[in-house]
Amino acid sequence: MFSPIEIKKHEFSRAMRGYDTVEVRAFLESVAAEIEKLQESVRSQSGEIERLRIELASYQRMEQNMREAMVNAQETLRDAREGARRDADLMHREAEVIAERIVNDARKRSEDIRREVETLSIRRDNLIRKLKALLRSELELIDLLAEEEPAVEAKALAENTVQREKSPLPIIPKAASDSGIRASAQRPS
């Protein structure tokens, strides 16, 4: 490509019936001016293109960074969801274990209480049986004593009579002597 200066200074060879040199020179001057404008425009546009390329590269880097950030954010969100799900599952399993332990403890305690109630019921039944047997035995003893008391008193009187005859001191019947001792202990002397 020719520069505007080369176009302006270009010399054509002379021929006999050639072109009008003034007209050729004017045309070359106008072509040179036009090419100079075009070259200036190209330089200006080249600078603008370079600036736009730099700006585009910057935007492309920003776009890449934003894509990476979005991917990272999505991965972080996915990880957070998975972590939350794992934590929820873990808490759920722990709650189930605790609930099962509580239920098992309650069942064990219930079984212990049931056995204790059975033991106490058996002990109560044994105690009632023993008390009934004791009361029967005591009632039998009372009945026996009630039947024997007149016979014992009569026998004691008979023994006292025999002893009085033998002894110069007064003899107190045994049943009467117990009550007499108590009565004399209570009487002032």
Name the nearest CA neighbour of 7 among 37, 34, 29, 24: 29
What percentage of residues in the chain have a pLDDT greater than 90? 49
- Does 175 fall in a domain? no
Model confidence at 119, pLDDT cuts 50, 70, 90, reads very high
Please give the helix or strand (H or E) that residue 175 lies within, else none: helix 174-186
Q: Residue 156 domain-assigned? A: yes
Residue 3: pLDDT band by 50, 70, 90 thresholds? Answer: confident
In a domain, 185, yes or no: no
The residue with greater pLDDT, 135 or 13, is 135
Domain region containing 88: 4-168
33 pLDDT more than 70: yes
Domains: count for the chain: 1
184 in any annotated domain: no
Averaging pLDDT over each range in 35-49, 112-126, 138-152, which range is the top one? 112-126
